[in-house]
Amino acid sequence: MKKNEPRKLELPESPYRDLEFLESLEGRTLRILSEYVWPMARLQKYKVESTILFLGSAKANPGGSDTDSPLHKYYWQSEELAYQISKWGMSLKPRGRKYVICTGGGPGIMEAANRGAMRAGAKSIGMNISLPQPQLPNPYITPELNFTFHYFFMRKFWLMYKAKAVIAFPGGFGTLDEFFEILTLLQTGKVSRKEVLLILYGKAYWDKIINFKALVEMKAIAPEDAKLFTVFSSPEETLKYLKKKLPEIGG
């Protein structure tokens, strides 16, 4: 090419089609924004007005083998509760828009809740997270409401954003992290306790894992902080509570 001779250039890709840019440090803001906007558009498209969020162990299995988890009874209780909530939600108008079951999208308690919703003929949501060891979506999620997030904080935002009730079944670090984050949001008023119900499911389990009474005695929390959640141990009493309280908070 001679000096100063015009180059023949091809039309470059638009920035939003440039994967190298989108996956770069400079593109992080756009990646975060996409994980905010895309779920919003998808939930609006499929007319999800409110959700019931199920938290719990990914290790709880359905049972029936030598590798049964000690938590497997909670798998079936989660499935039954999700079924009952979904069945109730489908009876309300507009049909199928309120109290849609939402989970973290993985196995265990999450799978059980999505499974219960499917048994009721209702749609349900799975909000998975990309991990070094991939957690595949369970097969009971409504395909159009199957999400994967890269950023934990964006996933937590959407797990909580449309929730009218959060039900924490027995679980490990992930469940404890999510439960305490929601509890802190309620305690600090960042989420109104008049708008979201928080439930611990499985009294025998949680009494062993967390000593809330000791936290009050040591004045680490105020007595009223221990009243930010309710504890139940059966699908029937949990559903009865939800049917009574959700209309009271405008759910």
pLDDT digits (tens, 9 = 90+) for 120-141: 999 999 999 988 777 789 999 9
- Residue 24: the pLDDT is 87
Per DSSP, the three-state class of 137 is coil
- What are the extents of the domains in the chain? 53-248
Mean pLDDT of 111-118: 98
Distance CA 84, CA 163 (A): 17
Residue 197's Cα: distance from chain center in Å? Answer: 14
pLDDT tens string 18-52: 888 788 888 899 999 999 999 999 999 999 999 99
Higher pLDDT, 233 or 3: 233
6 vs 64: which has the higher pLDDT: 6
* Beta carbons within 8 Å of 88's beta carbon, 6+ residues apart: 99, 239, 243
Segment 58-84 shows an average pLDDT of: 87
**Helix, strand, coil % in the chain, rounded to nearest 5:** 45, 15, 40
Residue 66 pairs in a beta bridge with: none
Residues whose CB falls within 8 Å of the CB of residue 11, separated by 6 or more in sequence, listed in order: none
Quick one: CATH architecture of 53-248?
3-Layer(aba) Sandwich (3.40)
8 A C-beta contact, residue 164 and residue 195: yes
Identify the CA nearest to 104 among candidates 179, 196, 210, 198.
179
Average pLDDT over the chain, rounded to an integer: 92
Average pLDDT estimate for 88-98: 92
Per-residue pLDDT tens for 204-240? 999 999 999 999 999 999 999 999 999 999 999 999 9
Q: With beta carbons less than 8 A apart as the criterion, state whether 109 and 60 touch.
A: yes
Q: What is the pLDDT of residue 158?
A: 97
User: How many other β-carbons are positioned within 10 Å of the β-carbon of residue 38?
Assistant: 13
pLDDT at 66: 58
Question: Alpha carbon of 142 to those of 47, 115, 145, 241, 245: distances in Å?
Answer: 13, 10, 5, 27, 27
